[in-house]
Amino acid sequence: MATASTGSAEVPLKFLDKPIKADKTTDIIYMMCPMHLLTIQQKLKEIKVGEVLAILTDYDGALEDIPMWCENTGNEFIGVVDASDHYTFYIRKLKD
Amino acid sequence: MRKVYLDHVATNPLHPEALEAMLPYLKENFGNPLSIYELGLKAREAIEDARGKVAALINANPQEIIFTSSGAEANNFALRGIAIAHQNKGNHIIVSRMEHHSILNSARFLEKSGFAVTYLPVDKYGTVNPEAVKKAITKETTLISIIHASPEVGTIEPIADIARVAKDRGIFFHTDAVASTGNIPIDVNALGVDLLSMAAHQFYGPKGAGALYMKEGIRITPLIYGGIQEGGRRAGTENVPSIVGMGKAAELARKDMDRRISHIKPMRDRIIKELLKTDHIYLTGHPENRLPGHASFAVEYIEGESMLLLLAGKGIYAASGSACTSKALKASPVLLSMGIPSNIAQGSVVFTLGEGTTEADVDYLIETLPQIITRLREISPYGKGWDHPEDLLMQKERT
């Protein structure tokens, strides 16, 4: 697992080498800001504490926003896989 | 003068109950559905209530309904949105020659953008053959779009059969059901479609409201970027009154569908039976598999537009097919694709019935149209040769 940091984000951006198992996957490719954050909020309600949400997006702003959002809301940002045409973000729900 | 509106495929009057439902959202309930205070919540709830009613009309889930401004927008959205979203899988789409311009012109736009498009031929009734669809599929095909029912000739396509062909090959299937939704029963699951377009004013809802049904989990590129309306797939502050009106109209269409069909169908059949008694007039479209209120004809030796003008002079409002035919004075591509010669296709006339149509209206049409045809043929430049149309055709080609 590689760890990287973007210039502007205060929260480290962790890149994963390969996909991991998720309990729920949601595809919001082609959806722009702020659909990535709204979708996470909505979809986390549908999984249990400790479970993992995968979110597919091609929105570059998510690289900063999702780790930051996890930090602010007390959920775990596990990491992101960079496929050629989209990212998959993994988030572990830590509280209801 | 008597007024007889027989152009229900162009549009319909707003149902009084739909208007009633809309009024509060044109007046006191003016809030923006995204606002978090009470006015906004009222508007949000009204939209979600309408979404449920529109979904129920076609047996979909509410979250599978995306509101648009029109049927044309829904068609553009489906064709361009799916083709572009899935272009990494392939660059070929299939449509038929029966499609509305919102599909055909979107397909032409995609062609200019590097996509390959197959325009499927149809038989003499305007029916698309599922086998022809199967043959047209390549490994690059990502989307097939076939119209559900033609507004021009009324033919209802074998959508379930074509959708099965698409599904077997893992290809997305869209149908333009603008002319049919709310007028004949539609179940998206029974039809097996992935996407379906509709427009509210085709079933006594307001203009300015349409919707795209899209099966859950499908990826699409938006046509309009902006805010988070419609799940970020269609931005822009919602047309709340029209969406509410569409919901009410959908609820009424579902409830009243059987009654509406049994009201118009016998009158439609009578128009066809009686008008076919005139010489050199033909039914266009399928004789049985057609929209219940739809009677369309090709009248030889006259030009459709002049027929419409004289009909309007007698208070009868009808259509002459597509915008190509009516406004550009061009033979309809749909009629030509059905093998109807261009000189006959020019004489196209379409009568479409609705809730307000009466037997007396039908009597008036049956009495008036043959008189108009006779009068026009007397003054028509085609008139002289009309007993020998083949001579006329040759003369026309020479000039």
Predicted confidence (pLDDT) per residue in B85-120, tens digit: 999 999 999 999 999 999 999 999 999 999 999 999
- Of B88, B217, B222, nearest to A30 by CB-CB distance is B222
Is A27 at the interface with chain B, CB within 8 A?
A: yes
* Alpha-carbon span B372 to B310, nearest angstrom: 7
Q: Are B252 and B204 in contact (CB under 8 A)?
A: yes
Write the DSSP string, B9-48.
Answer: TT--PPPHHHHHHHHHHHTT----TT-SSHHHHHHHHHHH
Tens of pLDDT, residue by residue over B35-55, are 999 999 999 999 999 999 999
Percent of chain B past pLDDT 90, that is, above it, reads 87
Mean pLDDT, residues A51-74: 94
Tell me the one-letter amino acid at B103: I
What is residue B343's predicted lDDT score, i.e. its pLDDT?
83
Is A20 at the interface with chain B, CB within 8 A?
A: no
Q: Are residues A27 and B85, on separate chains, in Cβ contact within 8 Å? A: no
| Given the residues B83, B271, B310, B324, the one annotated as active site | B324
Closest-CA distance of chain A to residue B227, Å? 8
Q: Is B113 left (phi over 0), alpha (psi -120 to 50) or beta?
A: alpha
- Report the sign of the C-alpha dihedral through residues B24, B29, B31, B35, in that order: negative
Mutate to test the interface with B, among A31, A39, A59 (most CBs of B within 10 A): A31
- Of A29, A34, A85, nearest to B228 by CB-CB distance is A34
| Per-residue confidence band for B305, with pLDDT thresholds at 50, 70 and 90 | confident
* Alpha-carbon span B111 to B92, nearest angstrom: 9
Q: What is the pTM of this model?
A: 0.90
Mean pLDDT, residues B233-251: 98
Is B36 at the interface with chain A, CB within 8 A?
A: no
Interface predicted TM-score of the whole assembly (ipTM), two decimals: 0.73
Contacts of A28 in chain B (CB under 8 A): 232
Percent of chain A past pLDDT 70, that is, above it, reads 90
Taking all residues of chain B, what is their mean pLDDT, rounded to a whole number?
93
Closest-CA distance of chain B to residue A62, Å? 15
Q: Are residues B232 and A85, on separate chains, in Cβ contact within 8 Å? A: no
Tens of pLDDT, residue by residue over B203-220, are 999 999 999 999 999 999
